[in-house]
Amino acid sequence: MADRVLILGGTEEARALAAALAGGGIAAPVTALAGRTAEPAAVAGAVRIGGFGGPAGLAEHLRDGGYAALVDATHPFARQISAHAAEAARTAAVPRLALVRPAWEPGARDRWIEAADEAGAAAALGDLGLPGESAVFLALGRQRVAAFAEVPGLRFVLRTVDPIEPPWPGCRTVVGRGPFDEAAERTLLETESVAAMACRNSGGGSGRAKLDAARALGLPVVMIRRPPPPEPPVVASVAEATVWLSERLRR
Ligand SMILES: NC(=O)c1ccc[n+]([C@@H]2O[C@H](COP(=O)([O-])OP(=O)(O)OC[C@H]3O[C@@H](n4cnc5c(N)ncnc54)[C@H](OP(=O)(O)O)[C@@H]3O)[C@@H](O)[C@H]2O)c1
């Protein structure tokens, strides 16, 4: 029987890794999801939903589940679970790898303004001097938008995976789930008369489409920098993660 690998998921890369492991007979993947999305995208192999109760709970889960390895393939901004993964793997003496997709880099025609966090991004938007009532597209998690409610004179358009009530009166919500493409992103920005965008440097293929659309329209983008990466070993692609696992698992 193939070794069990626990994948901390919630990303495109985690789904692709589960498919590669299951499809290639390399391992039996179990993908853990935090349970934030009402209808998560389908994943190859087994899925478990919900937190572990901190690093001690995750360590216990790793031991009890007889896992041969742990891959932290969570979002680059999901800092807490990544720290828990590293600590739990040490405690349970289970090999652990972090899979973190590369950050986006600005091209020559991109108009990016970097910010350290959401509060910094809100301040940077205020400093842009946009005309009153300009619309700003927020490609951010709904839990992270509170700072923008304080920016005077701007309207916001927030995109969420699941429908939600507008978090404040000056914020419209639109529902959208990736993958996205540049043409559709451009249509959205034009339809909503967007004058600027704020997002985090999540990286990844389909998230890039909104940045390409912003560049095509000449819009400024306030880009929130990534937090420090998880502790090593860290790889940047599903292919590298598959090789790392293949070298450690029995077939
Ligand atoms: N942060 C983002 O912008 C973002 C974007 C897209 C997708 N996601 C995905 O959404 C999930 C939650 O992200 P977050 O930023 O809220 O995480 P976080 O702040 O780092 O984690 C908060 C808590 O949620 C639980 N948790 C997080 N990821 C989990 C997973 N994959 N499986 C089981 N439990 C998990 C853990 O609870 P316990 O301590 O109880 O174990 C963790 O302590 C992650 O799977 C991430 O990959 C996040």
170-209 pLDDT, tens digit each: 999 999 988 899 999 999 999 999 999 999 999 988 889 9
Provide the CATH topology of domain 4-102+228-246: Rossmann fold (3.40.50)
Beta bridge partners of 7: 31, 71
> According to CATH, where is 3.40.50.980 located in the chain?
111-224
Choice between 4 and 40, residue whose per-residue pLDDT is larger: 4
Q: Quick: pLDDT tens for 94-123.
A: 999 999 999 999 999 999 999 999 999 999
Given a contact cutoff of 8 angstroms between Cβ atoms, the answer to whether 192 and 134 are in contact is no
Provide the CATH topology of domain 111-224: Rossmann fold (3.40.50)
* Contacting residues for 246 by C-beta, under 8 A, at least 6 apart: 26
Average of per-residue pLDDT across 71-77: 97
Does the pLDDT at position 251 exceed 60? no
The pLDDT value recorded for residue 142 is: 85
The pLDDT value recorded for residue 49 is: 97
> According to CATH, where is 3.40.50.720 located in the chain?
4-102+228-246
Residue whose entry in the numeric block shows the structure tokens 């880099």:
105
Given a contact cutoff of 8 angstroms between Cβ atoms, the answer to whether 74 and 68 are in contact is no
For ligand 1, the distance from its centroid to the CA atom of residue 153, given in whole angstroms, is 33
For ligand 1, the distance from its centroid to the CA atom of residue 201, given in whole angstroms, is 17
Using a pLDDT cut of 90, give the percent of the chain over it: 88
Average of per-residue pLDDT across 45-62: 98
The pLDDT value recorded for residue 2 is: 82
At residue 6, φ and ψ (nearest 5 deg) are -90, 125
Long-range contacts of 227-233 (CB under 8 A, 24+ apart): 227/76, 227/77, 227/79, 229/76, 229/98, 229/100, 230/72, 230/82, 230/83, 230/85, 230/86, 230/98, 230/100, 231/86, 231/98, 232/98, 233/96, 233/97, 233/98
Average of per-residue pLDDT across 127-151: 92
At residue 229, φ and ψ (nearest 5 deg) are -70, 165
Choice between 40 and 67, residue whose per-residue pLDDT is larger: 67
**124 residue type, one letter:** A
* CB of 10 shorter than 6 A to ligand 1: yes
* CB of 65 shorter than 6 A to ligand 1: no
Say how far apart CA 157 and CA 242 lie, in whole Å.
38
Does the pLDDT at position 135 exceed 60? yes
Orientation angle between helical segments 12-23 and 238-246, nearest 10 degrees: 40
Choice between 55 and 143, residue whose per-residue pLDDT is larger: 55
Say how far apart CA 110 and CA 197 lie, in whole Å.
12
Using a pLDDT cut of 70, give the percent of the chain over it: 99
Q: pLDDT averaged over the chain?
A: 95
For ligand 1, the distance from its centroid to the CA atom of residue 215, given in whole angstroms, is 30
* CB of 166 shorter than 6 A to ligand 1: no
* CB of 177 shorter than 6 A to ligand 1: no
* CB of 52 shorter than 6 A to ligand 1: yes
